[in-house]
């Protein structure tokens, strides 16, 4: 805050690299490393902004997470477990910080149209992912931005500790 001024909104959008693998092939170094980096990043950023938010009686903490944290998929144990730990962390800080006018929420986009992660998938795989959702397509970056903008606004002041899937109805949460 000394360099940037008061910070009222934090958007934690770190996707720490991970391996797609089965439990049988997963090592503790892979899982423990991802778990440590994921929660550590969220912890440090949150620790950095909460004192100022608390003193002002206002703040919005937003964390991007992933569907495998609540809906397991084959090969996604590394991502799912680490994001599930972060999800739990966010719910605890939502509970603790609510009396200070600070909200904390999770946004879980499904596969996002046009991102670098798409390069790891074939066009057929991308089409299948989009087709699996009732809305029949991948989530668009601006749809994520609009959800984050709402959760960062005054209009969401009574919304905290929630998980918002952006998946076109895929999970129907």
Count helices and strands in the chain by DSSP H and E runs? 4, 4
Indicate left, alpha or beta for 7 from its phi (over 0: left) and psi (-120 to 50: alpha): beta
**Separation of CA 103 from chain center:** 15
Average pLDDT, the chain: 93
**Residue 21: DSSP 8-state:** B
In this model, does residue 49 exceed pLDDT 70? yes
User: Would you place residue 117 in the very low, low, confident or very high pLDDT band (cuts 50, 70, 90)?
Assistant: low
User: Would you place residue 116 in the very low, low, confident or very high pLDDT band (cuts 50, 70, 90)?
Assistant: low
When pLDDT is averaged across residues 35-40 and rounded to a whole number, the result is: 95
116 vs 39, more confident? 39
pTM across the whole model? 0.92
The answer to whether residues 93 and 45 touch, using CB atoms and an 8 Å cutoff, is: no
Percent of the chain with pLDDT over 70: 97
């Amino acid at each position: 805050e000394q360099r940037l001024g008061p910070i009222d909104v934090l958007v934690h959008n770190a996707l720490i690299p991970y391996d797609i693998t089965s439990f049988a092939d997963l090592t503790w170094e892979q899982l423990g490393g991802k778990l440590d980096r994921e929660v550590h990043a969220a912890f440090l950023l949150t620790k950095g902004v909460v004192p100022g938010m608390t003193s002002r009686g206002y703040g919005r903490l937003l964390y991007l997470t992933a569907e495998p944290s609540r809906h397991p998929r084959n090969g996604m144990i590394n991502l799912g477990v680490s994001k599930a730990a972060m999800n739990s962390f966010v719910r605890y800080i939502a509970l603790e910080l609510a009396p200070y006018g600070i909200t904390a929420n999770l946004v879980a986009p499904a596969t996002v149209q046009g991102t670098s992660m798409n390069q790891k998938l074939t066009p057929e795989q991308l089409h299948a992912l989009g087709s699996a959702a009732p809305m029949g397509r991948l989530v668009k970056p601006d749809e994520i931005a609009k959800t984050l903008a709402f959760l960062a606004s005054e209009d969401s002041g009574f919304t905290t500790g929630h998980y918002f899937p952006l998946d076109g109805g895929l999970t129907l949460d």
